[in-house]
Structure 1
């Protein structure tokens, strides 16, 4: 009899332990589901805040560029500290000229074979650097930029061959500069140095806006001179830009500055412009679940701004 009572007590204790385990599991499941629901709600809310802010940003950009003959840093779109405030969110907005870079999609020609090209001196200040072969001014500037970033002549050739394999005449092959990451010679360190200097825009004609080049783009500006001028000689050129920018590449004020600074001929002037049609808009917002960021590639044409591409990502909590 005592043995049966002991067995019954043991069964009851096992059932209680099982029920407690099930209760803890169910409680954890519903807690996780509740947290997932809150996170999903926060993500969706932030997404629509950012997309709503993008509409405002497009309108702001269109109004900033309306009736403007050039694009420069003195315009409203380039002013820092812009924000959109709603009842339950604050959205920070900033713009960046997407044409203050070298568009790799302008290299959309079939590279000529090295043995069919004349030998041209390497565009560098170091006369001891071995020569490379180039096809046109866009390739010359691209090669000169790679020289500035420490690529060797062999690496320049290899990278050119890899780009050739991706590009087809009349077709834009690259949608983002990150697609260069697995290419030969482009390790992480070099990619981070290339990132602010290169871009992948849906245009086959180069139009680097000299009015919006920053000092971090000096290696690119030097490459436009085919490396015949040192970077410290080009800093005064950027500093001498008028508040409203140069009207065009043949602006007498620009030509006078080039003569005053005793700079060599601007070999890559065909790649330059003073107007821009592509811009990056960066929008940020934050809620109790963390921060969120939207980057949109915008296209300005005929006083209207369209969206070419957008990327939304979670950037974490500000308390982290």
Structure 2
């Protein structure tokens, strides 16, 4: 393998070189092919690498910063492939990479974007009837994709899985085995590559056949398309079309089910460590920082235990940095514990 020049290494805004894996490189190549097809349809002719670079430069001000650097990484991967094949020398590679930066430099990227939208702005708290109504609307479409969207909206708040994690999931008895969406051999995020979710009252016996049907549809789509990210985008697009003309549904995404599920479990009395083991987080503080609040959770049904706690997964969860510092200072680690300490009943021997 040829040694690549420095200009072909993908770095982020801080100048840190990102790690590469065969999976990410394959994803860049697939995205590059899609970019070529899209631009070729737009220009009504065959396009070259230079055409793609000029298109990205011309749209830099109207692209979000993350989008621009994703396109840039895609171009860099294609240049790496061309360089490794001997069709591009170092001088040509440096010229192409330099051409990627717009004339106004980094500050001009995204300068015309009026609103920066991120997943953090999606609805974190959704009423059960809202999910139910959207699921019913999806089922009424009688279309395969909408049937899947309806199932994700119906079962998502109960399982706390990411939409991608149900693709390829296996249901063995009352245990759901999913592959963590953010885990990879490089970053090793979360508690591990796979995790087991014990279904107790989250999905009742009479619901299991419909849930198995959902998993079968997802598996068929995965076998046909092969790219989980592409499928999640398909389902997200169907949900956006479903929300049109429904003002109260603005901001509800497939991710909202996971966020609301965390809030509901917290209100039901599950500890941060238990919730982290269910959601696949390595830190007990992640869910509270990024997902729904306990006081916005759905009212628990007396005597109902939605999900079982896997002892093996629970053992992998660590206390977060804030919790460690509070423990060191002998302070309560949760708001509930703090309130309990403050409102503790006074001793009967008190002279007050």
TM-score, normalised with respect to structure 1: 0.27
Bigger Rg, structure 1 or 2? 1
Higher relative contact order (CA 8 A, sep 6+): 1
TM-score using structure 2 length: 0.25
Question: 1 or 2, which has the higher helix percentage?
Answer: 2
